Structure 1
């Protein structure tokens, strides 16, 4: 296989997401000749919201349950386990909405259909498209992470709809591999770093600032998923080289390959 078929040949790629998604990203990078380094800068754990029992008790009062992430789906069902049977949802009038396709796939695994998903996977577009379609609701429940925005809830409230936000999981920075990250940065080993959320970038920037590594970090190209993550990076004074139109890790990987292929072609001219 020649270098033309290996667009990431010799490229050192930092992957800041762990778990199955991070592992898959690593394998994809390696399959195209890249050298992946998985240093998770984000992790998740269940959050015990004081209002959780009340949300569970009153679940039948909601017209819609709105999921803003795959984690929101999984932790929601973890919290209701033993309290609500999934079959109750299929027999009720509750409808489900999701922000993007990965969230929809997560809901599909619980054998529940999503009635609404925006064309662009952001909270802003969700809020706009939902009301453009003139869908109706009197009360909605939004299971979410502790760092998720209030954009969707505030949009519903502005339309005089009750929007309850249930914090079902916490996002935090796992410190186990901080030393690995510092070494990669100080030795200037990395060509590009992929950020999957504002949280992954913010945790990265925290390390940069704490250990005075800004000069090293500025040498690395940056890929992001989503306009919110891109904005966070740019507001911190960094440039984003890759940001796919579809906000998924698979699209980011495809865009990475395209980016380095085009760069290689330009160097040949």
Structure 2
């Protein structure tokens, strides 16, 4: 019998990024309900012109997500010939996205989180002199702050913003009210926040179901909202989450 046979699982990943996760749930015998609770759009950073003009001065450009890569390329792809920096990425998916644009990733931390990257900087494993971090409006500054504390220079460039796709509100409520859901999954703290926002606005109680998350920050956000996290893999990937979900239901 397949590990997720008969299980109904809600996937809150953004539209356009949910398909591989849904595919893996279905391969494992489960039924996936796609309810994207976050979406992305380009943002206009006040520093944009200055950063574009200074692209040739960075020795490292660090991507923390696939979105960071995509929105950076939208804004700066035409200037690649001016960039002499090396490329760094957090996580295999991010590195794959960069390499799809022909950017050769020279550094990736052993574990896939901002905290682990900061730890490697503090330990002297990664020491940029001047680094650029293209990021989301919601992203924290832990990596850039650590570079600065270690004597380097770090600029952060907000290339995209995260927002809640309002048309998904009724969809989510319908799924949690009408379907017998076994697990709701979150892969970002923003998705947790939007989920809680919908429940509060609709005076809907927190569904009495299992919850699976990726990442320490997502787990912390879930716990702070009273969500009991049943599954949170040590490796921050979709593959690890699906595998752990299978183990959870087997036990």
Please tell me the TM-score bracket, short chain as reference: over 0.9
CA contact (8 A) 1:142 1:165 kept: yes
TM normalised by structure 1 equals 0.88
Count of residue pairs the alignment pairs up: 251
SS in 1 for 2:127: coil
* CA–CA separation in structure 1 for the residues paired with 2:179 and 2:139: 33
Cα deviation 1:197-256 (Å, max 9, x = unaligned):
0011110011111112224x2x11100001110111111112111111111112211221
1:44 aligns with 2:18: no
2:113 to 114, 118, 122: 122
Compute the RMSD of aligned alpha carbons: 1.6
Structure 2: which 5+ residue stretches go unaligned?
A: none
TM-score, normalised to structure 2's length? 0.94
- What corresponds to 1:203 in structure 2? 194
**Aligned counterpart for 1:159 among listed residues 146, 150, 155:** 150
Alpha-carbon distance in 2 for matches of 1:127, 1:30: 36
* Aligned: 1:190 with 2:171: no
Which residue number in structure 2 is paired with residue 31 of structure 1? 27
Displacement of 1:53 in angstroms is: 1.5
Residues in 2 aligned to 1:209 and 1:190: alpha-carbon distance in whole angstroms: 19
Shift of 1:259: 1.6
- CA distance, structure 2, for counterparts of residue 171 and residue 23 of structure 1: 19
Alignment of 1:5-20 (within 5 A): 6-20=2-16
Secondary structure, in 3 states, of the residue corresponding to 1:81? helix
Query: Please, which runs of 5 or more residues in structure 1 have no aligned partner?
Result: 263-269
1:213 matched to 2:204? The reply is yes
Aligned to 2:185, the other structure's residue is in SS state strand
CA deviation map 1:126-145 (0-9, x unaligned): 01113323443321111000
- Secondary structure, aligned partner of 2:184: strand
1:53 aligns with 2:49: yes
Instruction: Choose 1 or 2 for highest CA Rg.
Output: 1
CA distance in 2, matches of 1:81, 1:110: 9
